[in-house]
Structure 1
Amino acid sequence: MICVLIYEYLPHELARLGVVAKAAGLDHRRIAAQVCLARERAGRARTAPPEPHHLSEVFIAELRRLQWERIAGLMEKERMAAYRPSDDSRAVRYEERRLQRLMTDVAEAERSGVAAVEICRHCVYRIDARPAAGSSSPGMPAPAVHLMAASPGEAAARAWALHGRDGGLYQRSGHRIASVTQILPEPGELF
């Protein structure tokens, strides 16, 4: 039996919609503080060692920064005392597009004749590594990767399957997985 996995939320949707949810009800001062924090995070992410995948700390930080700046600009333009997602036409379109993508993905999978379609609510996890005991490369920066998975255990297993083989990122640099942290959505965002 062939089952097709379809993501309820893609990483960019989680980042954008998470900011919208977090911004709901905040005033100008709190939005401005979040813009500053988002800019600082993006700046730190740009100076971190590059990651092997497109889904990275920089990608996530930049999406969030752009969203916070967009919301701040909208509040100023519309003279909102507090941010209301229902009054943000772009935020409404984000959710409409996500639902349309989901319906299209399901319809395409069903048309292709698969036996089952499973809609997955995966999160984005950051997998950090540390030098293995007796590693010959102690000065090398510890690699980090970001992956979508259903659980922290699955994220670690996928990271090891991708990067733990001979010649992979972890083996080449003498590192082992040290921690797995849920990045998207952040606690209190979306679900």
Structure 2
Amino acid sequence: MLIYEYLPHELARLGVVVRAAGLDRRQVAALVRLAQERAGRARVGPAEPHHLSELSIAELRCVQWERIAPVMDREQVAMYARSLDSRAVRCEEQRLQRLMADVAEAERLGVTAPEISRHRVCRIGAWAVAGRSRPGVPGPVVHLMAASAEAAAKRVWAVHGKDGGLYRRTGCRIASVEQVLPEFGELF
């Protein structure tokens, strides 16, 4: 039984909180604007085949950045500190409770040593294959959780590369795999 140490929304929230540590109001305001712009671009972008998408990630991050400025005002601090953010502390406690509940459920089901996996969210981009579809036109983008970029590529190809799958229908091949949550240096 696979147990995720972090779910995508937890990675997005925690990544923003970690990055905000020590920033002042001006820096936070600039990052709020960037997050809003990214969410706006994602809203007009092409739809993705899964719930986990560029749009969902952008909106999760935007909500967190927008939440931090009022926390700083309420606490009357010049720089953001996670320890003063009661919601960030509560969310981390809830994540740990979820993790313990998942482990307890696995043990109840008879799993003697449940695996706690530190998955990442990867963005897999595709391009049209020469002679098929329109060459040079970006293909579909897929976001998913995987232990590594290699595992993400294998998993997305297993799902979308088979006959009748998204890549076969569009004449595309995997062109890039990029870790998007957490961003490098944020958590692990």
TM-score, normalised with respect to structure 2: 0.97
Task: Give 1:86's aligned residue.
Answer: 83
1:143 alignment partner, SS class = strand
Instruction: Provide structure 1 residue ranges, at least 5 long, that are not aligned to the other structure.
Output: none
Task: Give 2:38's aligned residue.
Answer: 41
1:103 counterpart = 2:127:
no
Task: Give 1:190's aligned residue.
Answer: 187
Task: Give 1:18's aligned residue.
Answer: 15
Structure 1 residue 116 displacement after superposition = 2.8
| 1:149–1:155 CA contact under 8 A, matched in 2 | yes
Structure 1 residue 25 displacement after superposition = 0.5
Supply the distance in 2 between the matched residues of 1:47 and 1:113 (Cα, whole angstroms): 46
2:179 alignment partner, SS class = strand
| 1:139–1:188 distance in 2 versus 1, CA, 3 Å | closer
What percent identity do the matched residue pairs reach? 70
Task: Give 1:136's aligned residue.
Answer: 133
Structure 1 residue 63 displacement after superposition = 0.4
Supply the distance in 2 between the matched residues of 1:84 and 1:31 (Cα, whole angstroms): 12
Structure 1 residue 138 displacement after superposition = 4.2
Per-residue CA distance 1:138-171 (angstroms, 9 max, x = gap)? 4865100001111111000001011111111100
1:142 alignment partner, SS class = strand
| 1:51–1:143 CA contact under 8 A, matched in 2 | yes
| AA aligned opposite 1:41 | R
Task: Give 2:62's aligned residue.
Answer: 65
| 1:134–1:36 distance in 2 versus 1, CA, 3 Å | same
TM-score, normalised with respect to structure 1: 0.95
CA RMSD of aligned residues (A): 1.2
Instruction: Provide structure 2 residue ranges, at least 5 long, that are not aligned to the other structure.
Output: none
Matched positions, count = 188
